[in-house]
Structure 1
Amino acid sequence: MAVGAVLLWVAAHALDLRLADIPANRLSWIYTGGPEGARELLGVVAGSMITVAGVTFSITIVALTLASQQFGPFLLRNFLRDTGNQVALGAFISTFIFCLLTLRMVRGTESVTYVPHISVTVGIVMTFVSLGVLIYFIHHVSMSIQVSNILSVVSRDLQAAIDRIFPDRIGRGAEQSPESVADRMNFPDDCRSSTANITSTSYGYLKAVDDAQLLSTAIRHDLVVRLLKRPGDFVGQGDGIADVISGGSVGPEAERAIREAFLLGSQRTATQDVGFVMDQIVEVAVRALSPGINDPFTALICIDHLGQGLRRMATRDIPTRYRLAEDGALRVIADPVTFSELAHAAFAQIRDYGRSSPPVLMRLLDTISAIAPHLSREEDRQALLHQAVLVREVAVEGLREKAARFELEESYIATLSILEQAGAPALH
C-alpha cells in the first residue's frame, strides 16, 4: 500500500502538470487554495496520519499482548496476518507518504508559485478514507480479541487444513494389503534389508514434506523411501528423517534431493500439520480451565469447534502408508495422521484439566455422540469409544457431587448407545 501511494502520487502529479494551464477555479471539485493553505493542510494531514498510525500500532501491540496471555502464543500468527489490521496500518502510512510527497512540490515564492491542485485533492480524499478506516479498525480490534471470533478463525483454519491434506496423497495410494504391495515391488528380495539412513543437517520443526520431489527422486533413483518424521515433529540435527531401501548404494545426489524435500522451520505451521491447528484450540481450552482464569464457557466453545473438526475428519479417507508410483511400484512409505491420534489430541488435555468440571465432561460426551453418526471406519468408532470410557473414568475420580456423577453416568450410557447404533460394540 505504501508503494501504491507513491505510484498514485506520480499519477496525480503527472495529471497536475497536464492541467497546469487550466485555471483552478474552472474545476470546482478540486482544491483551489493557494500555496500557504496547501502547505498547512498537507502538513496537518501528514502529522495526524503518522500519529494515528503510531496509535494503531500501539493498539495492535496491546491486542497481541492480551491474546498471548489469555489464548497462548500460537494464536499470535492469526493477529499478525489479519487483513483488517494490515489494511488499517497501510491506509494511514499511505496517506502520510502521499501528503509528504505532495507537500514537497508546493511552491510559494515571489518568483515561482505552484500548487498541485489535483494531488492536494487526492490527499483530502485519502484523509476521509483513512478516517473511515480508523472507525473500522477500532471496531475490528474490539471484535477480533473476542474468544468466539478467535476460535471461529482457528476453526476455519482447521477445516481448511483437513480439506487440504485429506485425501491428498504422495503418489497413488495402494489399495492392496501390505503383503501384496511388497510382492509387487520392482526390486530383488535382498534389497528389502539394504537400508541407508538419511539424517538431517539442520534442526527445527518439520513444516512440510515436498511430496512431488520425494516421489520423483524415488522414481529417478529406483528407491523406496520410508519417512521417519511427519509434519509437526521436531527434527534435531543429525536425527534420521528417512530410510532409503535400494538394491545398490544411495548416491549423494539422491541424499541431497531427499533432504531438500523436508522443509524445516522455527515453528510448526498448518501447511501439512492438522494437529498444529487443533493444538491451538486445545491450548485456549486448557488456559480457560486453569485456576487463574477459570472460564469453562470458553472451554465449551473450544470443544464444539474440536468436535466439528473431528466430524469433518471422520468423513475423509485416511491414505494408506504405502504410496505407489504410476507403474504400481512401491516408492514411499509414510505413516498418515489417523482419526484416533487427532481424537486423543483433541480430548486428552481438556479431559485432564476439566476433570472436576461437570459441564466440560458432559460436553465431551455430547461431542462424541455428535461425531458418532458420521463415522465409517471401525477403528474410528473404537477410538471414540475409548475416549468416552476415559471421560467416565476421570469423572468418577474428579466429580465430588453425587448428582453430577449420576448425570454424567446417564450421558455416558446414552453415548454408548449412539456408538452401538453406529456399529461399535460397547465396552462396560
Structure 2
Amino acid sequence: MTKHAEDNLFNRLSTSSLKRLRQFFQLWSLKTLTNLPDRLTNLWQQLIGSYWFIPTACVLVGILLAPILVTIDEHFDRDMVREITFAFTGDDDAARAIMTTIAGAVLGVAGTTFSITIAVLSMASSQFGPRLLRNFLTDTPNQFVLGAFIGTFSYSLLVLKAIHKYDVGFGVPQLSVTFAIIMAIICALLLVYFVQHMVHAIQASHVIEGASNEAIKNIHYWYSDRCDIEHQRNIEHHDIEQFHHWSATPIYPPYSGYLQQIYFESLITLSQDYGGVVEINSSLGHFVTDKNVIGYFYQRPADHPTNLQKTKTPHLALVPRSPDGLFWQRFAGCIRLEQRLTQSNDIAYSLGQMTEIAVRALSPGINDPKTAVNCVQSLTSCLSIMMRCQPPTPYHFYKPLDETDTPDTISHQPSAILAVVTRIPKISDFIDSSLGEIRRYAAADLMVLKALCQAMIDLNYARVNEAQQQTLIHEIKLIERAGADNLNYHQLADDLTAMCQQAEKFIMSENAQQHYFHYVSDFDAHIRQALQAQSKQVRA
C-alpha cells in the first residue's frame, strides 16, 4: 500500500470517527434531550434491525450462564441429581464426549442456517427487490435461531473447560451437562422451525402482508382517528398567514443523505430560543445534499406581539436573533440523516416496498401479475385507512406555561406560538407514488389495470370529501388512457374503457358509498339479453 493510499484511508477513518463523535455529542446535549425517548427508540430500532445484535446477546447469555451453572453444580447435592430421571450422571469421559458432540453439532447447524439465509436473501433480492432485504435481515425468529445455536456452542465450550479429569468430587458438572443436552434438543426443534419459517417467509403473500402491516403501523403513528380541536384553534393563529413575509434565512442540511426523522420538540425549542419559525420543506425519505435548501428560518419582527411578553413574564421573553454557529450545530441534532434509506416511521417508504414488489412482479423476467394484483389490494387497504383518518398537522406550536400568570394576563396572550412548519404529503401524492407507479409499469396488462380500477372504486367507499373524489376520477381517467394506448387488442381496450366509464359514473353518483358496484361488460350484457329473449320465446 502506498503512502498516498494510507493517508487517504487514515483521513476517511478520522473523518468518519469525528462524524460519529459529533453525532454522539449532539444526541446527549442538553438542548436535544427534549426528544430523548424518540432518539432512544431510534437507537433501539437500529440495534434490533442489525443482524448481529440478537445473536451477540445469545452468546453473552451462554458465556454468563456457563459459570453460573458450574458454580451451582459445585454446591449442589449429587445424590439429589441422581434422583432426577433425565439428569446426566455419567463420568468425566462421557461428559466430555457429550459436550464435544454438542459443540460441534450446533456450530455445524449454525453454518447451515447461515447458508440458507444467504440463499434466501439472494433470491429475495432478485424477486422482490433489494429494499426488501432488510425485512429478512431483521426477522427476529431468524436471528434468534442463529443466536440459540452459537449461544449453545459458547456455553458448551465453557462447560467443557470446567470438566476436570482427576477431581472426583466436583469434576463432572452434571447439572450443566444436563442443561446442555436440553439446549441441544431445543436447537434440533429450532432447526425444524427455521426451515418451516423460511418456507413461509419467501412466499410473496407473506412478504406483502409484512410490508402492509408495517405501513398500517406507520399510518396509525402519524394519522389520528379524530380531529384535534386544539389544533383547529391554533391554526387560526395570525402568524400562519404572515410568517412568509418575515426576514428569511435558508436552512442547509449538515451533510448529504436521506432525511429519516425530524425531532419536533428539539426543533420547537430551537426556534423559540432564536425567536422565529422554522419551515422544513423536505419530506421524510427525500435525499438532500449539503448544498440543498431544505427550509427557511423566519425571524420575527422586533415589534411582534410575542416579543412584548418581556414586560409581563421575563423568563418567557422571546428575543429574536439571527442564526449563528450554535444555531447550525443544534439544528444538526434536530434532524436525522442517513446515507441509505432505512426503516423508520416514513409512510412512503412502507408503501414503496409494496410498490417495488409489484413492479418487480411485472418485469419480463418474473411476469407474475397475480402478485402485482395482491400488492394493489394491500395498497388499497392502507390508503383507505389514510383517507378515513385525520392527517397530521404541518404546524407545530410552542405552548408557554407560567404558573405566576393570572387568568387576565393569559387571556391577552396567544395560547400557542407558531414554531415549526413542515410539509405533509397529501393523499393524492401517496396514490400517485404507489398505485400510479404500478399503473405506469402495468400499462399493457389488463388484469392489473382492472385491479387498479377496482382499487379506485374501493377507495371511493372511504373518501370523506370532494377533493378525494376528484383524485380518484383523475386516476381512473389515467388508467383508461393507459389501456387505450398500450393494450394489444382493441377488444381488451374496449373492455377496460367500459369498466372505467362505469366506475367513473358510479363514483360521481349520489350515495355511491351505500351501493355495491358490479361491472358488466358488453359481452356479458349481450349474453344476458339473448338468454332473456330465449326464455321469453320458450314461455310463449
Q: TM-score, normalised by structure 1?
A: 0.91
CA distance in 1, matches of 2:363, 2:506: 32
Q: 1:405 aligns with which of 493, 503, 522?
A: 493
What SS does structure 1 have at the residue aligned with 2:261? Answer: strand
| Structure-2 change in CA distance of 1:379 and 1:423 (3 Å) | farther
CA distance in 1, matches of 2:142, 2:503: 44
| Structure 2 partner of 1:304 | 377
| Structure-2 change in CA distance of 1:345 and 1:394 (3 Å) | same
CA distance in 2, matches of 1:85, 1:159: 23
What SS does structure 2 have at the residue aligned with 1:208? Answer: strand
Report whether the alignment pairs 1:39 with 2:86: no
CA distance in 2, matches of 1:173, 1:64: 48
Q: 8 Å contact 2:239–2:418 — kept in the other structure?
A: no
Q: 8 Å contact 1:361–1:395 — kept in the other structure?
A: yes
Report whether the alignment pairs 1:237 with 2:290: yes
Report whether the alignment pairs 1:369 with 2:457: yes
Report whether the alignment pairs 1:351 with 2:439: yes
| Structure 2 partner of 1:160 | 217
| Structure 1 partner of 2:264 | 211
Q: Deviations over 1:149-181 (max 9, x none)?
A: 00100000010111111249xx99753798x54
CA distance in 1, matches of 2:261, 2:196: 36
The structure 1 segments of at least 4 consecutive aligned residues displaced by more than 6 Å after TM superposition are: 110-113
CA distance in 1, matches of 2:252, 2:95: 66
Report whether the alignment pairs 1:194 with 2:247: yes
Query: What is the deviation of 1:318?
Result: 2.3
| Structure 1 partner of 2:275 | 222
Q: 8 Å contact 1:85–1:137 — kept in the other structure?
A: yes
Query: What is the deviation of 1:260?
Result: 1.6
| Structure 2 partner of 1:336 | 424
Q: Deviations over 1:5-53 (max 9, x none)?
A: 2232233112211125547544443101111111111101100000000
Q: 2:482 aligns with which of 394, 399, 411?
A: 394
| Structure-2 change in CA distance of 1:2 and 1:314 (3 Å) | same
CA distance in 2, matches of 1:339, 1:86: 36
Q: Which moved more, 1:272-281 or 1:203-212?
A: 272-281
What SS does structure 2 have at the residue aligned with 1:240? Answer: coil
Q: Deviations over 1:113-153 (max 9, x none)?
A: 71111000000000000000000000001110110000100
| Structure-2 change in CA distance of 1:108 and 1:237 (3 Å) | same
Report whether the alignment pairs 1:151 with 2:208: yes
CA distance in 2, matches of 1:153, 1:46: 35
Q: Which moved more, 1:108-117 or 1:233-242?
A: 108-117
RMSD: 2.5
The amino acid of 1:208's aligned partner reads: Q
Q: Deviations over 1:94-126 (max 9, x none)?
A: 111111111111122388871111000000000
Q: Deviations over 1:339-371 (max 9, x none)?
A: 000000112221121111110000000011011
CA distance in 2, matches of 1:49, 1:224: 59
| Structure-2 change in CA distance of 1:223 and 1:342 (3 Å) | same
Query: What is the deviation of 1:332?
Result: 1.6
The amino acid of 1:94's aligned partner reads: G
| Structure-2 change in CA distance of 1:209 and 1:123 (3 Å) | same
| Structure 1 partner of 2:387 | 314
Query: What is the deviation of 1:414?
Result: 2.6
Report whether the alignment pairs 1:106 with 2:163: yes
Q: TM-score, normalised by structure 2?
A: 0.73
| Structure-2 change in CA distance of 1:347 and 1:105 (3 Å) | same
Q: 1:290 aligns with which of 345, 355, 363?
A: 363
| Structure 2 partner of 1:133 | 190
| Structure-2 change in CA distance of 1:45 and 1:184 (3 Å) | closer
Number of residue pairs aligned between Structure 1 and Structure 2:
419
| Structure 1 partner of 2:44 | none
CA distance in 1, matches of 2:369, 2:94: 59
Q: Which moved more, 1:396-405 or 1:58-67?
A: 396-405
Q: Which moved more, 1:249-258 or 1:153-162?
A: 249-258
| Structure-2 change in CA distance of 1:236 and 1:349 (3 Å) | same
Report whether the alignment pairs 1:86 with 2:143: yes
CA distance in 2, matches of 1:380, 1:146: 34
> Where in structure 2 are there 5+ consecutive unaligned residues?
1-57, 302-320, 400-414, 513-540
Report whether the alignment pairs 1:118 with 2:171: no
Q: 2:323 aligns with which of 250, 253, 271?
A: 250
What SS does structure 1 have at the residue aligned with 2:461? Answer: helix
Report whether the alignment pairs 1:17 with 2:74: yes
CA distance in 1, matches of 2:97, 2:430: 62
| Structure 2 partner of 1:263 | 336
> Where in structure 1 are there 5+ consecutive unaligned residues?
none
Q: 8 Å contact 2:443–2:483 — kept in the other structure?
A: yes
| Structure-2 change in CA distance of 1:231 and 1:28 (3 Å) | same
CA distance in 2, matches of 1:163, 1:278: 14
| Structure 1 partner of 2:309 | none
Q: 8 Å contact 1:5–1:95 — kept in the other structure?
A: yes
Where do residues 57-96 of structure 1 align in structure 2 (5 Å cutoff)?
A: 57-96=114-153
The amino acid of 2:340's aligned partner reads: Q
Q: Could you say which structure has the larger radius of gyration? A: 2
